[in-house]
Structure 1
Amino acid sequence: MKRRTAREKALQALFQIDMSEIEPSAAIEHVLDEEPTDPYLEKLVLGVIEHQTQIDESIKEHLEKWSLERLANVDRSLLRMAIFEMKYCTDDVPVNVILDEAIEIAKMYGDDQSSRFINGVLAKIKQQMS
């Protein structure tokens, strides 16, 4: 499975977990739809769940005039996934690739403003990390 596909499926699984609080393994199985599992997909979903408290704190620090709860569910899940990658997967993937991928996925799954919003928050986090 390509990384982009793994990210899209991870986003779908994280969205399901966020919305209906189903078990991560059930969400992963559901988005795979009989396809074989992918290690990167599992790493993203399980990593976000494991580090969600720290990731959410990082998001809250960089939101202006918004609360985490007010974010669109897709945007919140996508931010969580991208921040997890930025903080825990940079040996594997350059930060700029993570940002580009998050923005492209936001264009597909979010609303008209999602990609700009995601870009703004992630750019601030990238700057803080450097």
Structure 2
Amino acid sequence: MKTYRRRIREKIIQALYTIELTGADMDSASDWLITPQIAEDSGAVRFYKQVLQSIQDHKEEIDGYITKHTFNWDMSRIAIIDKNILRMALAELLYFEDIPPKVSINEAIEIAKKFNSTDKSSKFVNGILDATYNDLKSSGKIKKCGRGLINNSSRNTSRSEEKHSTEK
């Protein structure tokens, strides 16, 4: 049975929350969250572990982007849930070429609405991710390719130009 990525993302947030509150290592904090349904879906388990690992491996860089776009906020003042939603979405934006940016951002906003650490969490998450995405896109740090993704537009243009020139 296919496990939907939103459910996996929610489990990722729960694992990150556990790690932050208890100081537990990633494996012990996250393995208990893998339900039998998730365990049956090797793609879901792989996605779950890859996102967690990328956050762990690049936490300083990811937190740097959060800090850059929260201006007058100290990281310790950001609600733990919101901070981890931002970390997850930024990891997807930066390190998962096959996930469209809008999907990562929209999923983060919806999860922020569900977990609702404050009444303005979803707006906060949206604002930070939007600013960070625009910054990353303008600096060329987001490398996305494939159907519906950033670099696809230039490939489609060249394909249509190629097709058009061969038709003449």
The TM-score, its normalising length taken from structure 1, stands at: 0.94
Structure 1 residue aligned with 2:21: 19
Amino acid paired to 2:34: L
1:106 to 105, 112, 120: 112
Q: Which runs of 5+ in 1 are unaligned?
A: none
Please give the root-mean-square deviation of Cα atoms over the aligned residues, in Å. Answer: 1.2
What amino acid sits opposite 1:104 in the alignment? E
1:65 aligned onto 2:69: no
* Structure 1 outlier segments of 4+, above 4 Å: none
Provide structure 2 residue ranges, at least 5 long, that are not aligned to the other structure. Answer: 138-168
> Identity over the aligned pairs, expressed in percent?
33
Using the alignment, how far apart are the partners of 1:22 and 1:67 within structure 2? 23
Q: 1:78 touches 1:106 (CA, 8 Å); kept in 2?
A: yes
Query: What is the DSSP-based 3-state SS (H/G/I as helix, E as strand, rest coil) of the residue aligned with 2:124?
Result: helix
> How far did 1:34 drift?
4.9
SS in 2 for 1:48: helix
Pick the structure with greater CA Rg.
2
Tell me the equivalent position of 2:102: 96
CA separation in 2, counterparts of 1:21 and 1:119? 28
Distance change in 2, residues 1:3/1:33 (3 Å)? closer
8 Å CA contact 1:18–1:77 kept in 2: the answer is: no
